[in-house]
């Protein structure tokens, strides 16, 4: 029995491209919401209905939502920089106002259920404790504008739930896996590693989720998630040393020559930060103070709630790196080693 058409926003992104393929494999009728003129090839050859809308345009979003029974709202402006005032406004309008537009349209057009993609950056953190759904976001930490907006996104989902909409938050950790067309920050690290261009790294650690697992998590959240609840989906924690070892195993390339001392890099990143952004206000770079800080936090995530309530069973990080590498090779983004 068909459950009706499903809308995916952010379908050209890393998460969305994995989710759309998973939904099509399940036999779903999929509509994707795209920005006009920004086709990056992520959906080439897929049997999906394409509708153009920018999240900041409420009427266009409403037209994309109309006629769909379920909505996966994955689109967001993922940003790893402080940026200038205009950039902050763009992140806010896309992530917070854009989510309001999706949720309001869903309520207006009688959508059965919405899954909103969340981020671990919007979940509470305590040293030496794996973050879980009940930990409150601590606003006085040094968050990036993106992290604040993802926190506000959850707030908007809760508001919509209070207003009677069936809405669940599916929280992602750092995604590793195939169909990374943008490519993501982590994807770029793998590409550089495979080409022997990653000469240095900073030790630390983070919680990762495979493309396969985060797509599965979204589907489970849609099927079984309780409205107004948030579920964290992760695959495994890995230190940067462990991640580099996986990259070496998968690519056959040697480890980067330099393992940089975190305190020195933190001081260097802080020192160069102001000058960099004065010259290049919105250009991303690898060793930002936020990136160095995040790796030193060694954030872990607890996915017990998803396991218990949704039957979530994560796969593994090695297969995620293998799939990411093979997909980059297949598309010619990574050149094979001789």
* Residues found near ligand NAP in the complex (CB under 6 A): 10-16, 35, 38, 40, 54-56, 74-78, 94, 117, 119-120, 150, 172, 174-175, 182, 184
Give the largest CA-CA distance in the chain.
Answer: 59
- CB 75 → ligand NAP: shortest distance, Å? 4
Closest C-alpha to 189, from 16, 42, 321:
321
- What residues have CB less than 8 Å from 45, skipping those under 6 apart? none
Contact 176, 320 (CB under 8 A): yes
The smaller minimum CB distance to ligand NAP, of residues 84 and 337, is found at 84
Distances (CA, A) of 87 to 6, 90, 211, 250: 31, 5, 28, 37
What ranges make up the beta strands (E) of 227-332? 230-233, 236-239, 258-259
- CB 56 → ligand NAP: shortest distance, Å? 5
Rounded distance, CA 313 to CA 15, Å? 18
- Could you tell me whether strands 205-210 and 236-239 are parallel, antiparallel, or unpaired per DSSP bridges? antiparallel
- CB 263 → ligand NAP: shortest distance, Å? 26
Ranked by CB distance to ligand NAP, the top (closest) residue is 13
- What residues have CB less than 8 Å from 216, skipping those under 6 apart? 22, 233, 312
The smaller minimum CB distance to ligand NAP, of residues 176 and 334, is found at 176
- CB 14 → ligand NAP: shortest distance, Å? 4
Task: Provide the CA 32 distance to its chain's centre, in angstroms.
Answer: 17
The smaller minimum CB distance to ligand NAP, of residues 20 and 244, is found at 20
Q: 169 pairs with which residues across the strands? A: 116, 230
The smaller minimum CB distance to ligand NAP, of residues 217 and 256, is found at 217
- CB 65 → ligand NAP: shortest distance, Å? 13
The smaller minimum CB distance to ligand NAP, of residues 82 and 99, is found at 99
- CB 170 → ligand NAP: shortest distance, Å? 9
The smaller minimum CB distance to ligand NAP, of residues 16 and 289, is found at 16
- CB 204 → ligand NAP: shortest distance, Å? 16
> Tokens representing 6?
């499903």
Q: 157: which DSSP letter?
A: H
- CB 116 → ligand NAP: shortest distance, Å? 8
The smaller minimum CB distance to ligand NAP, of residues 237 and 268, is found at 237
> Tokens representing 208?
């990762």
Tokens 């050209």 locate to 12
Q: CA angle, 184 as apex, 248 and 303 as ends, to 5°?
A: 80
The smaller minimum CB distance to ligand NAP, of residues 176 and 198, is found at 176
């Amino acid at each position: 029995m068909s459950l009706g058409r499903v809308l995916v926003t952010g379908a050209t992104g890393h998460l969305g491209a994995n989710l759309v393929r998973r939904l099509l494999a399940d036999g779903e009728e999929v509509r994707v919401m795209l920005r006009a003129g920004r086709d990056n090839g992520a959906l080439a050859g897929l049997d999906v209905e394409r509708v153009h809308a920018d999240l900041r345009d409420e009427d266009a979003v409403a037209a994309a939502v109309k006629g769909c029974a379920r909505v996966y709202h994955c689109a967001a402006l993922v940003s790893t920089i402080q940026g200038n005032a205009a950039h902050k406004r763009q992140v806010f309008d896309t992530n917070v106002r854009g989510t309001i537009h999706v949720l309001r349209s869903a309520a207006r057009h009688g959508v059965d259920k919405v899954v909103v993609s969340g981020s671990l950056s919007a979940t509470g953190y305590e040293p030496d404790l794996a973050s879980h759904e009940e930990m409150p976001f601590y606003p006085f930490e040094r968050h990036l504008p993106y992290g604040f907006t993802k926190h506000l996104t959850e707030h908007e989902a809760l508001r919509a739930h209070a207003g009677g909409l069936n809405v669940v938050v599916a929280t992602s950790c750092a995604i590793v896996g195939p169909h990374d067309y943008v490519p993501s920050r982590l994807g770029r690290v793998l590409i550089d590693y495979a080409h022997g261009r990653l000469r240095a790294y900073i030790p630390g650690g983070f919680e990762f989720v495979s493309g396969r697992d985060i797509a599965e998590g979204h589907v489970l959240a849609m099927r079984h998630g309780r409205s107004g609840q948030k579920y964290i989906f992760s695959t495994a924690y890995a230190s940067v040393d462990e991640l580099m070892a996986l990259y070496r195993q998968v690519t056959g390339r040697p480890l980067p020559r330099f393992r940089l001392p975190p305190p020195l890099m933190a001081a260097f990143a802080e020192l160069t930060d102001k000058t960099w952004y004065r010259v290049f206000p919105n250009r991303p770079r690898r060793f930002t103070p936020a990136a160095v800080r995040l790796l030193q936090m060694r954030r872990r995530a607890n996915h017990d709630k998803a396991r218990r309530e949704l039957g979530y069973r994560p796969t593994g990080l090695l297969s995620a790196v293998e799939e990411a590498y093979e997909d980059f090779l297949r598309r010619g983004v990574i050149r094979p080693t001789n």
